[in-house]
Amino acid sequence: RIAYVNGRYRPVTDTAIGIEDRGFQFADGVYEVWSVRAGRFLDHEGHRARLERSLNELRIPLPVGFPALDVILHEIVRRNRIEDGLVYLQVTRGVARRDHPFPPGPVRPTLVVTARALDLKAADARAAQGVGVITRPDLRWKRCDIKTVNLLPNVLAKQAAREAGAHEAWLVDESGHVTEGSSTNAWILTGEGVLVTRQTDEKILWGVTRLAIKALAEQEGLRIEERAFTVEEALRAREAFITSATSFVTPVVSIDGRPVANGAPGSVSMRLRALYLEAAERV
Ligand code: PMP
């Protein structure tokens, strides 16, 4: 595998970042993930725009221009011969003597881009079966709308899910409402047929896939409410699902070991998944 690191393409195993990189020391950096299908980026512009927003929020300059970034993204796909997979990008504030405030002098931000293949057949099989989620308290900071590499609460929640034999952890805020999954947005379809997902506040990452699915659902004439829902409401729902760049739409069939509806993937969830993947093939 080939990685891009600060201007050079190198084998992943032959790259290095300084030990005083602020990403390593303070999680002072942002990241972005694109899905690649049949060699093409999904929602390319949405992820680029969110990267720009994350960088602006933390006042980290991108060390290359956006046109050059585009070249790097395509080059990393080409060099790794990715047909179906993902591209991972990370920008940190750079290497400087360890001290909490921003470095006083000009520091070149660290830019790393990698790519890897994903097994789409396994993902499709997972979606066809549906996945289980567990619930966990949301222990994260108050700016989850910024896509920072500060992911320790997400890591611990995902690990708890895996240890419980579940696929994802839904994070629950202090008022008992689901914020989102540890690496996905959370949705339900109520008994009345209303699609519900949390409003884009500072407690969730504004998923690019979330936005695309919202647009597709509107085209389908579905009623959508952007609001928080509780675990109890999700357990009474007709369907539930998660969205993310790499999982698209994946039905949720159990929450904390209790079935959602009849415990099988819902038809609206599966239809939205199919529509999203069809739309991806058309661009
Ligand atoms: N929430 C969190 C916490 C995430 O990490 C992700 C994946 N990056 C998402 C939601 C889904 O976002 P997207 O659809 O842009 O991948």
Enumerate the domain spans of the chain.
Answer: 2-118, 123-282
CB burial string 44-79: b at 16+ within 10 A, e below: bebbbebbeebbeebebebbbeeeebeebbbebbee
Whole-angstrom distance, CA of residue 99 vs CA of residue 8: 28
* Model pLDDT, residue 41: 97
Q: Which two tokens stand for residue 43?
A: 């929602």
The model's confidence at residue 280, banded by pLDDT at 50, 70 and 90, is: confident
Choosing from 48, 144, 184 the residue with most ligand 1 atoms within 8 A of its CB, the one to mutate for a pocket test is 184
Give residue 99's pLDDT band: very low, low, confident or very high (50, 70, 90): very high
Q: Kindly list the distances between the CA atom of residue 69 and the CA atoms of 59, 112, 204, in Å, as whole numbers in the listed order.
A: 18, 11, 26
Q: What pLDDT digit, counting tens, does each position of 16-29 carry?
A: 999 999 999 999 99
Six-digit token pair at 61? Answer: 């300059």
Q: Give the pLDDT of residue 151.
A: 98
Residue 203 annotated as catalytic: no
Of all protein residues, the one whose alpha carbon is nearest to atom 9 of ligand 1 is 184
In angstroms, the Cα distances linking 67 to 48, 63, 64, 86 are 11, 12, 8, 20
Closest residue (by CA) to atom 7 of ligand 1? 183
Around Cβ 213, how many Cβ atoms within 10 Å? 25
Is 70 exceeded by the pLDDT of residue 283?
A: no
In whole angstroms, give the CA distance from residue 62 to residue 227: 33
pLDDT > 90 fraction of the chain, expressed in percent and rounded: 98
CA-144 nearest atom, ligand 1: 3
What class is the 2-118 domain?
alpha beta
Helical segments of the chain, H only:
22-26, 44-58, 66-79, 120-129, 152-163, 208-219, 231-235, 267-282
Most informative mutation of 87, 118, 244 for ligand 1 (most atoms within 8 A of CB)? 244
Per the residue annotation, which of 121, 147, 203, 214 is the catalytic one? Answer: 147
What mean pLDDT value characterizes the chain? 97
Distance CA 23, CA 281 (A): 35
The C-alpha atoms of residue 100 and residue 274 are separated, in whole angstroms, by 47
CATH assignment of 123-282? Answer: 3.20.10.10
The closest residue, in CA terms, to atom 5 on ligand 1 is 183
Distance 106 CA to ligand 1 centre (A): 31
User: Cβ < 6 Å from ligand 1: which residues?
Assistant: 33, 154, 180, 183-185, 205, 207-210, 243-245
Question: How much is the average pLDDT of 221-234?
Answer: 98
